[in-house]
Amino acid sequence: MESMAATLAEILNSRSTGRAVVMGVLNVTPDSFSDGGQFPDARTAVAHAERMLAAGADAIDIGAESTRPGSQRVAATDQIERLREVLPAVARTGTVVSIDTTSSEVAEFALDAGAAMVNDVSAGRDDDLLLPLVAERGAAVVLMHMLGEPSNMQRNPAYDDVVVEVCGFLRQRLAAAVAAGVDADRVILDVGIGFGKLLEHNLALLANLHDVFALGRCVLVGPSRKRFIGELTGQTDPRMRLPGTLAAVLAARAAGATIFRVHDVAETVQALTVADAIAEKGRRDG
């Protein structure tokens, strides 16, 4: 991996260049599944963002509404209030800021305050105004697959073929974004690990990422501290799932993924640096 943080253009070109991009998670929420309440004010939140940037993050993904299983919706006005001081301060560092929201009202505030990317777990389905807003502002957008919504997504999720169905959904949402005026080159796809998926579904998606790459867009993978790691290892504390997270990141990297949304930035950067150096040496010698 390169030591300099990526620009938005470099992130969006990562599928072509192969550059690994690390997106640090910053939740300014009281109830996120592994770090809720840890950053209760602008000072602590911005300090954490700065630590992640110093550790090698290429982008910071800021969320003001938890999307953990069973979570309830947060009003746009409340999300904006949580973001009001934090997001502009992080944007002033010059890093690429992503806003994790399904609301066009929140996204508009964030884009006005310096965000360059919208990370929408509903892939534009929750708010019909979001994709046109992204198009109008020339922003980038992450479209993620989720079965149902956070409040009910883990109630017996079922698929006939999870890989085929997730790829079909992402293909449709990519088409919807383009129809709304979004440049296809500014779309990133996310299979939604842990969002309406059982252990077997998460493993199948991670094992078959090549089918997602066939859609022709950058792929973001977000396995960080997720429940499936605990199901495999017996580790009930999300904060203790770093080794499993790194294993999932490196497996996805070997399959060709380029963007990784994680809580533990320094460890992920180090793991990717070593893995990429080994892979590059193999390419040169081969």
Q: How far apart are CA 209 and CA 199, in angstroms?
A: 16
Buried b (16+ CB within 10 A) or exposed e, 67-81: bbbebebbebeebbe
Helix (H) or strand (E) holding 262: strand 259-262
Catalytic residue among 226, 227, 241, 253: 226
Helices (H), 22-103: 42-54, 76-83, 86-91
Catalytic residue among 217, 227, 241, 261: 261
User: Please, are residues 31 and 39 in contact by the beta-carbon 8 Å criterion?
Assistant: no
Count of CB atoms situated within 10 Å of the CB of 243: 13
Tell me if residue 225 is catalytic. Answer: no
- Crossing angle of helices 162-179 and 130-137, rounded to 10°: 60
- Crossing angle of helices 242-255 and 265-285, rounded to 10°: 30
Q: How far apart are the first and last CA of the chain?
A: 20
Distances (CA, A) of 278 to 82, 168, 267, 271: 42, 34, 17, 11
Tell me if residue 261 is catalytic. Answer: yes
Active site residues: 226, 261
